[in-house]
Structure 1
């Protein structure tokens, strides 16, 4: 098992050599415009474009809670769009985060990381707009990635006002 690293920095600028996967949580209603996705879109247009196309064609594909798509953005970097949030706002069922869906997404990311011999980089997924807690997310990351010997770096961005509320 490898230890998870938590550092200050920007998950869209992964600090590692070799292949890298930048993982983040998306919603299941096709919304892309707040939180960490803004930083992704500023860095690479491909993840947003793919997410919107994936959502538009959802009647004929696997789009939905627990689904993951990897989009190559440079020769050695992929972005994992992980659908782990139901809706956009808290409701009678609580916050939009869906821990079981995030667990399924992370299992997919783990398989892909092993296949590509990649490290995984992420903000504290599911803790911002999705309304989850790191205490519930961290064990999912550990089980799906660290226990499978996938190197994981979690980034705490230190300029919250400019990035929105995507950090815990």
Structure 2
């Protein structure tokens, strides 16, 4: 079972002596045009470029990304890494195929969040063998906003329930 900590503050100010994992819910269309995704794009432009390239590989079947997570190591030159000991990783959790009026329904988004978290956990287990990533209380730490609750319009309590099923420690940043 995951432990969720709520932290009042800015997700992008999170610092760790090891590489921090900053996660957000993404669409499968290669767009970080609004909401917290637009801030990720400004803070970690190197990861945005790789995210777009990754989505292009699935252009004929974007929904093939649903339920997966693309974990991207940012570059030290990204503005979001200013003041960090180690560069951050951005976890792009593919929870909705599209965005706006074409976004998936809440039940599908929650199911895809569950699958994306499982995929992220397996990647963190692998990554931690070779890279120093943030841990606390013998668990990997994932930092995120209230994913899905903004532009995907999913009640936070539904996403929170699914996140609690996983073995990582989650810091949820709220403003």
Stretch moving more, 14-23 or 87-96: 87-96
Provide Cα deviations, 1:138-167, integer angstroms capped at 9, x if missing partner.
1221112xxx2x22110013xxxxxxxxxx
Contact 2:27 2:94 in 1 (8 A): yes
Aligned-residue Cα RMSD (Å) equals 2.7
User: How many matched pairs?
Assistant: 153
1:72 and 2:90 correspond: no
Normalised to the residue count of structure 2, the TM-score between the two structures is 0.75
Structure 1 gaps, min length 5: 158-168
**1:26 offset after TM fit, Å?**
0.6
C-alpha distance in 2 between matches for 1:17 and 1:30: 31
1:113 and 2:135 correspond: no
Q: 1:15 to 1:142 in 2, by over 3 A?
A: farther
C-alpha distance in 1 between matches for 2:55 and 2:152: 18
For 2:52, the equivalent position in structure 1 comes to 52
Structure 2 gaps, min length 5: 77-85, 135-140
**1:17 offset after TM fit, Å?**
3.4
Normalised to the residue count of structure 1, the TM-score between the two structures is 0.78
